[in-house]
Amino acid sequence: MLTYVLRRFLVAIPTLWGVATVVFIMARLLPGDPARVIAGVLATQGDVDRIRRQMGLDQPLPVQYLDFLGSLLRLDLGRSAHTNAPVLEEIGSRLPYTIELAFVALVVAVAIGILAGVTAAVRRNSKTDLIISSLSVFGISMPVYWLGLMLIIVFAVGLHALPAAGADQPTSIILPALTLALFSVGLIARMTRSSMLEVLGQDYIRTARAMGLGSGSVIFRHALRNALLPIITVIGLQVGSLLGGAVLTETIFAWPGVGRLLIDSIFFRDYPVVQGLVLMFGATFILVNLLVDLLYAYVDPRIRYS
Amino acid sequence: MRTKLLALAVVGGLALAACGNGTTGTPTGGSKQGDTLRIAIGVDPDTMDPMRQTTTTIQNIVQMVVETMVKIDTSGKVQPALATAWQTSSDGLTWTFTLRSGVKFSDGQPFNAAAVKANFDRVLDPASTCPLCGPMRGVKSVDVVDDTHVKLNLAKPIAPMLGLLTEVTFGIVAPASIQKGGSTYSDQEKPIGTGPYTLAERVKGDHVTLQRHDGYWGTKPNYKSQKFLIVPEAASREALVRAGQADVILLPPVSDLPALQRDSTVKVLLAPGDRTIFMAFNTQDSQQTLLQKPEVRQALNYAINKDQIIKSVLFGAASPMDAPMASTLFGYCKVGSYPYDVSKAKSMLQAAGASNLTINLVSPQGRYIQDFQAAQVIANDLTAVGVKVNGPRTMDWPSYLGTINVAPAKASVDMHLLGWAPGYLDASQAMVQFQSTQWPPAGLATSYYQNPEVDQLLAKANSESDQSQRATDYCTASKQIWKDAPWLFLWVQRFPIVYSSKVTGVQSIPNESFYTMYASPA
C-alpha cells in the first residue's frame, strides 16, 4: 500500500509538470501584450520595455520557460501583475473562502444526494422515486447562473431572509453553497440510485433479508456499503465541478474566493496569478484523484494495491 | 461597473484616467446622521495607492480619503480644494498655489507646502509607477515658497494643469508615509490623507470600509462609515439594493432600468457622463475608398436612428451626441446634429456615387452599455439606406484592440464601434481622437482622421494659456470635425446609479463618478 501511495505521488509529478507547461504555453498564446496593459497607454515605450524586462518577457521563450520552472521548484509563483502582491499571498488570502464554500457544498451534496438516491432506489417506481429523479435531472440541468439568481430573488429580495451577496455574515454562505451543491446533488442521487438498484438485486441482500435483518441495517450496512464504489468516483469528480462551479457561484454571490480571482486575473491579463491558479486547480485535481483511489481500497477490501 | 471597467481598461491610459472629484463640497443630502452607507460596486480594487490607481470607481473611493489641490464639483467645474488660489506666470512656466491653512492629515500631521512638494517628488520620480503621470511630466521641479505657498516650475506650459490636478493621482498623502526609501514610498495600500474619511478596512474581493475622520477641516459627512461591497455581477447588485442589503449600487443591468424606475423603493440616477460612443470610419480606407469622402460619411450619419436606439436598446442610458465630445468637458460647444433621415441619406449616397457601398463592421461585446446590440441595429439602419453590411462581427477585447489599433496600412475593417472617455474633463483629452499625430500605433485615433486645419487649431489650443481662447479654438475645431464626420456620431453614455429611497443626497460627477460624500438617511 505504501509503495502504491509513493508511486502514485511520483506519477503525479510529471502530470503537474505537464499542467505547468500547458499553462505556460497558454498564457503566452493569449492575444495582447501584458506589459502594455500594465503600463497603460499613456506610458512611453521605455516604460513598457522596463516592465517587459522586469517580467522577463524580453527573454527568449525557452529561457522564460526554464525560469518559470525554476521558480516553481522554489515555490515562487512571482508577483501579481495587477496588484503587485506575491501570487501566493493573493491566492492564500482567497483560498480559505473557496475551501469553505466547496466543503459546505460537498457535505450538503453528499448528504442530500445519497439520502435521496437511497430513498429513490428503495422505493423504486413509486411517486417518491419519480419526484426525486425529476428533481435530480432539474439539479443537473439548471445553469448555476440562473439558479443562483433565482435563489437570490426568492430568499433575499422576496423573503428578506438571507444575504444576497458578500461573505461577511454567518448566513452568507447558505445561498452560494446551496447553488453550488445542487448540481452535484442531482448527479450523486442518480448514481446512488442506480448503483443501489444493482446491489439490491443481489442474492446476498435477499439472504440478509431472509435472515431477518432490519431493513435499515440491510440498506445501509450491506447494500449501501457495496454500492459506494461508483458513488465515491462521482463524488471525487464533483470536486472538479465544484471548483469550476465556484467560478460562477462566487461571481454571482460576490464570494471572495479563488474562482473570482481567476476571472479577474484573466480579465487583467495577470499572467502570474492565472498561472498560479491553474496550477493550483491542476494540483487539486491530481490530489483528489489520488485520494479517491486510496479510498477505494479502504471501502472495498477486494482492491489491494501492490 | 464591469462595463465601466471593461470600457476603461485598455482603450487607454487616457480612457483609464479618471478625473478627480474633490473631497470637499457643500453638503448635498439632508442633515440626518447615519451609521453605515453600503455601496455595491463591481470592481475589486487592485491598489488603494492614489498614484497607481487608474480605475474611476476606485479613484472615487480613494478621493474620499485623499484630497487633491483642486477638485471638480458635481456640475463638472474646477473648484478650490487643498489649494485656495493659484497664479500662472505670463509665459505659463510657473504655477504658484496658495494652500489652505489649518488642515491636518488624519494622522495629525499638518498639511503644508512641504507635503505638496514631497508628493509631487514621489509621483514624478522616474522610478515610481504612475500610469497617469504622463501629462504632468512637464513639471521640472517643485519649490516650497513658504508654509502655504508652493511653486511648480514647468519645462513647457501645461494648459490643462487645473484639470490634471483634480485627478487623485496628484492627491496629497501624509509626507511621513512617503519618505523615500520607506516601505510605503512605492506602494501605498493604506494612504493617509486629509479627506473626510479614513481607510479603515479592506478585505480583498469582499469590501472596503471607510471611517469618518472627525478632525476633518471641511463639512463633516453624515454617515459614520461608508462600506463598499465588491459585487461583480450586475444582477446581484440589483438584488442587493432591492433586498435592502445595499443602499447604493453602481451600474445595474441596463435592461432592468425601466423596472427599477417603476419601483418606488429605489431611485434611479442616470448620471451624465463623459464617454462618447461612436463608430469610427476608416477615413483612409484603401479597400473601401468611398469612405475617404466626407459626403459619404455624412450620409451614413443621417441613416442612423439614434433616438430610437437610445430608447429601445440602451433603455435611456445615453444622450445623443451634438458635438465630437461630451457636453461636460471644458471646451465643448454644441455644433449640431445629424437627424435621422433615410431619404436624405440615400440621395447623398447616390450623389457621391456610393449607392453600392459595402462595409465591414465590428463591435466589441459587453464593453460599453449594450454595445453589440446597438451595433446590430446600426447595421440594420445602414442596410436600410442600401449599404451592404458585413457584420457586425465581434471578438474578445484584446483581439478587438489588436484589430483596430493598428497603423492605417494594416487596417482590415471599415467601421468599428468604440467608446472614448477623456482622462479629465478637458477638450484636449477628447480631441486626441482627431489629431493626425495620434494615429496608431502612436496613439488611439483609430479613424485616422486628418485635417491640417484641425491639427493646427488643436496644437494651438493645447498649449494656449488664455482659457477663453482655448475654448474658442476647440469649438472651431469641433465644427470642422463634425462636418468632416470621421465618426458615426452616436451618443454620450450615461452612468446609472440606483439607490434606496431611504437615502438622500446621492450625486454624481460627470465623469462616471459617484458622489456619496454627503449622502444622508432620508
Nearest by CB to B205, which of A37, A94, A156?
Answer: A94
pLDDT at residue A39 above 90? no
Q: Provide the number of structural domains found in chain A.
A: 1
Contacts A94 to B, Cβ<8 Å:
204-205
Contact status of B307 with chain A (Cβ, < 8 Å): no
Contacts A28 to B, Cβ<8 Å:
none
pLDDT at residue A289 above 50? yes
For the question of an ipTM over 0.90, the answer is: no
Using a pLDDT cut of 70, give the percent of chain A over it.
Answer: 93
Of the two residues B471 and A238, the one the predictor is more confident about is B471
- Whole-number pLDDT of residue B344: 93
- Indicate the pLDDT class of residue A73, thresholds 50, 70 and 90: confident
Q: What is the pTM of this model?
A: 0.84
Query: Is B16 in Cβ contact with A254 (below 8 Å)?
Result: no
Structural domain includes residue A174: yes
Query: Is A40 in Cβ contact with B13 (below 8 Å)?
Result: yes
Could you read off the pLDDT of B174-193 as tens digits, one per residue? 999 888 777 888 888 899 99
Q: What are phi and psi of A267, to 5 degrees?
A: -60, -40
Nearest by CB to A41, which of B12, B206, B245?
Answer: B12
pLDDT at residue A305 above 70? no
- Whole-number pLDDT of residue B16: 30
Nearest by CB to A254, which of B10, B231, B396?
Answer: B231
- Whole-number pLDDT of residue A24: 85
- Indicate the pLDDT class of residue A46, thresholds 50, 70 and 90: confident
**R_g of chain A computed on alpha carbons:** 24
Of the two residues B9 and A99, the one the predictor is more confident about is A99
- How many Cβ atoms from other residues are within 10 Å of residue A141's Cβ? 9
B225, A142 in Cβ contact below 8 A? Answer: no
CA distance A64 to chain B (A): 22
Mean pLDDT of A213-219: 73
- Whole-number pLDDT of residue B18: 33
Contact status of B235 with chain A (Cβ, < 8 Å): yes
Structural domain includes residue A169: yes
Contacts B9 to A, Cβ<8 Å:
37, 267-268
- Whole-number pLDDT of residue B251: 92
Nearest by CB to B236, which of A83, A164, A256?
Answer: A164
CA distance A143 to chain B (A): 15
Q: Which DSSP string do the residues of chain A spell out, in sequence order? A: -HHHHHHHHHHHHHHHHHHHHHHHHHHHHSSS-HHHHHH-TTS-HHHHHHHHHHTTTTS-HHHHHHHHHHHHHTT---B-TTT-SBHHHHHHHHHHHHHHHHHHHHHHHHHHHHHHHHHHHHTTTSHHHHHHHHHHHHHHHS-HHHHHHHHIIIIIIIS--S-SS-SSSGGGGHHHHHHHHHHHHHHHHHHHHHHHHHHHTSHHHHHHHHTT--HHHIIIIIIIHHHHHHHHHHHHHHHHHHHHHHHHHHHHTT--SHHHHHHHHHHTT-HHHHHHHHHHHHHHHHHHHHHHHHHHHHH-TT----
Could you read off the pLDDT of B247-265 as tens digits, one per residue? 999 999 998 999 999 999 9
The residue segments making up the domain with residue A208 are 95-299
Structural domain includes residue A246: yes
Among A62-71, A143-152, B14-23, B55-64, the minimum mean pLDDT is found in B14-23
Q: What is the CATH number of the domain that holds A196?
A: 1.10.3720.10
Mean pLDDT of A232-239: 82
Mean pLDDT of B350-354: 90
Dist. CA B336–CA A10, nearest whole Å: 73
Using a pLDDT cut of 70, give the percent of chain B over it.
Answer: 94
Contact status of B214 with chain A (Cβ, < 8 Å): no
- Indicate the pLDDT class of residue B367, thresholds 50, 70 and 90: confident
Structural domain includes residue A2: no
Q: List, in order of start, the domains of chain B with CATH numbers.
A: 4-32+49-195 (3.90.76.10), 273-494 (3.10.105.10)
Contact status of B271 with chain A (Cβ, < 8 Å): no
- Whole-number pLDDT of residue B426: 87
Could you read off the pLDDT of A199-211 as tens digits, one per residue? 887 888 778 777 7
Contacts A149 to B, Cβ<8 Å:
235-236, 239
pLDDT at residue A55 above 80? no
Interface A:B, Cβ pairs < 8 A: 121
Contacts A30 to B, Cβ<8 Å:
398
- Whole-number pLDDT of residue B22: 36
pLDDT at residue B5 above 70? no
Query: Is B239 in Cβ contact with A41 (below 8 Å)?
Result: no
Dist. CA B194–CA B519, nearest whole Å: 19
Among A117-131, A219-233, B351-365, the minimum mean pLDDT is found in A219-233
Query: Is B16 in Cβ contact with A41 (below 8 Å)?
Result: yes
Structural domain includes residue A69: no
pLDDT at residue A67 above 90? no
Chain B residue with minimum CA distance to A258: B205
Structural domain includes residue A304: no
Mean pLDDT of B393-401: 78
pLDDT at residue B8 above 80? no
- Whole-number pLDDT of residue A40: 60
Of the two residues B111 and A124, the one the predictor is more confident about is B111
Query: Is B444 in Cβ contact with A149 (below 8 Å)?
Result: no
pLDDT at residue B11 above 70? no
Contacts A166 to B, Cβ<8 Å:
206-207, 229, 231, 245
Query: Is A30 in Cβ contact with B206 (below 8 Å)?
Result: no
Query: Is B12 in Cβ contact with A40 (below 8 Å)?
Result: yes
- Whole-number pLDDT of residue A304: 62
Using a pLDDT cut of 90, give the percent of chain A over it.
Answer: 9
pLDDT at residue B246 above 90? yes
Could you read off the pLDDT of B135-167 as tens digits, one per residue? 888 899 999 999 999 999 999 888 889 989 999
Structural domain includes residue A1: no
Mean pLDDT of B362-386: 92
Query: Is A43 in Cβ contact with B131 (below 8 Å)?
Result: yes
Query: Is A256 in Cβ contact with B203 (below 8 Å)?
Result: yes
Nearest by CB to A251, which of B14, B233, B242?
Answer: B233
- How many Cβ atoms from other residues are within 10 Å of residue B327's Cβ? 16
Mean pLDDT for chain B?
88
Structural domain includes residue A70: no
